[in-house]
Amino acid sequence: MADSRTPNLKDVAHEAGVHVATASRALSVDQSHLVSEATKERVRAIAEKLGYRTNAVAQSLRTGRTGTVGVVVADLGNSFVVSLLRGIEFESRGGTYTPLVVETHDDPETLRSVVTRLLRNQVDCIILSAAQVDDGDFVADLERQVPVVLAVRGFGSAEPDSPTHHLEALPDDFAGARLAAEHLIALGHRRLAQIPGTSQISSFIDRERGFTAAVEEHPDVVDVSTGVRATESTVDEGRRLAHALLQRRPEERPTAIFAHNDLMAVGVIDAIRAIDLRCPEDISVVGFNDAPLIDHIDPPLTTVRLPGFELGRRSARLAFDLLEGVRPAQSRLTLDPEFIERRSTCSPGPDHTANNERMN
């Protein structure tokens, strides 16, 4: 009768022809450097063949670690978050640490609740991509308990010599918004507006700053934004805020609109059509994020692409390095965006040009 019992470490050591202690070291992340590469590979191959699995509870008691990393995201329905998570999973593949994902729905109380649950589950580290600008004290307290990596969103003021201990892997939202504004200005637009996201999220604050900085460099360009911010980053909010802009007289409404994310940009295009105008012939539109299928809408959306997968991969690498005692020289890693020009933008028509000349 076949032996149906679960293989143990002694079985692996016997099959590999090594001492049990050597087999244990070969299968340990913290001690594998103590054995030769050839022995490590042989022991791991035999463990895989026999179906041996390390006892996670026993290993946790020995090392003081659970091998889990908490990943806190705002919205699992957001395609950018999916890209981020894939990057984290890719970097975790075949390694020691397993991501444990929780969602906050961008609610501060939910953030505190899910983080408390992660701490009770004794995660070794937390990758936090759902922080809001008022969460600085909360994160400072959190990083006194576990290592923290801020991904995608930061606080905008932390410098490399900050007394805080968290690391940041962030996109350059400021530069991305500048690219959007400069593209529209280069096309000849002189009345621009932006549809800004909530002031509670650093990404939108930086996008507003980048757009404004580009406009201010051109004295002949006017920012005709309403100053009203979106309460959430949805198609409906983009439509609502664009509607207020488009109710102005033709010579006062913008010839180009920059929305702080792609969903709101879709709402802007809907609002343009609702008053029988055309995008881009009458009003150009630029979004942000390059969400999946955004190139298949009508017209395909000009946007700013963020490196979501790479942000996930790099934030996970920062977390794993922290856990292995490796800390980078700088606390903030910034990744560049990419401008993607499609068919939702073009030069303003002759009527718009004439209006601009009369205004100036």
- DSSP string computed for 272-337: HHHTT--TTTT-EEE-SB--TTGGGSSSPPBEEE--HHHHHHHHHHHHHHHHTT---SSSEEEE--
Q: Is the pLDDT of residue 164 over 70?
A: no
pLDDT at 327: 84
Strands (E), 142-290: 148-151, 167-171, 191-195, 222-223, 256-259, 284-286
| 312-321 tens-digit pLDDT | 999 999 999 9
Higher pLDDT, 109 or 155: 109
What is the set of domains in the chain, with CATH numbers? 9-63 (1.10.260.40), 68-171+307-335 (3.40.50.2300), 174-306+340-359 (3.40.50.2300)
DSSP secondary structure of 113-140 = HHHHHHHHTT-SEEEE----GGGHHHHH
For residues 166 and 304, give the distance between their C-alpha atoms in angstroms, rounded to a whole number.
27
> pTM to 2 decimals?
0.80
Q: What is the pLDDT of residue 47?
A: 85
Query: Parallel, antiparallel, or unpaired: how do β-strands 256-259 and 191-195 relate?
Result: parallel
**Which of 134, 85, 145, 88 minimizes the C-alpha distance to 111?**
134
Residues 6+ apart with CB under 8 A from 132: 106, 108, 111, 153, 200, 201
Distance between CA 304 and CA 203 in Å, rounded? 13
Is the pLDDT score of 62 beyond 80? Answer: no
Q: Backbone phi, then psi, for 136, in 5-degree steps?
A: -60, -45
| Whether 101 contacts 122, CB under 8 Å | no
pLDDT in tens, 200-217: 999 999 999 999 999 999
pLDDT at position 160? 43
Predicted pLDDT at 20: 80
Identify whether the C-beta of residue 314 lies closer than 8 Å to the C-beta of residue 169: yes
Question: Over 70: is that where the pLDDT of 4 sits?
Answer: no
Quote the pLDDT of residue 35. 84
Q: Which two tokens stand for residue 161?
A: 């010599």
Q: What is the pLDDT of residues 119-147, one digit of tens each?
A: 999 999 999 999 999 999 999 999 999 99
Question: Are the C-beta atoms of residues 230 and 238 closer than 8 Å to each other?
Answer: yes
- Of 23-37, 85-99, 253-267, which one has max mean pLDDT? 253-267
d(CA 336, CA 61): 42
Res. 5 pLDDT band, cuts 50 70 90: low
Number of other residues whose CB lies within 10 A of the CB of residue 249: 7
Burial class (CB in 10 A: 0-12, 13-18, 19+), 33: exposed
CA distances from 172 to 52, 100, 169 (A): 45, 27, 10
Q: For residue 66, what pLDDT is reported?
A: 81
pLDDT of residue 260: 98
What's the chain's average pLDDT? 89
Residues 52-80, mean pLDDT to the nearest whole number: 74
Q: Which of 2-11, 33-42, 44-53, 73-82 has the highest mean pLDDT?
A: 73-82
- Of 17-31, 90-104, 283-297, least confident by mean pLDDT is 17-31
Q: Report pLDDT for 166.
A: 82
In which band, very low, low, confident or very high, does the pLDDT at 324 lie, cut at 50, 70 and 90? confident
The DSSP annotation for 191-212 comes to EEEEE---TTSHHHHHHHHHHH
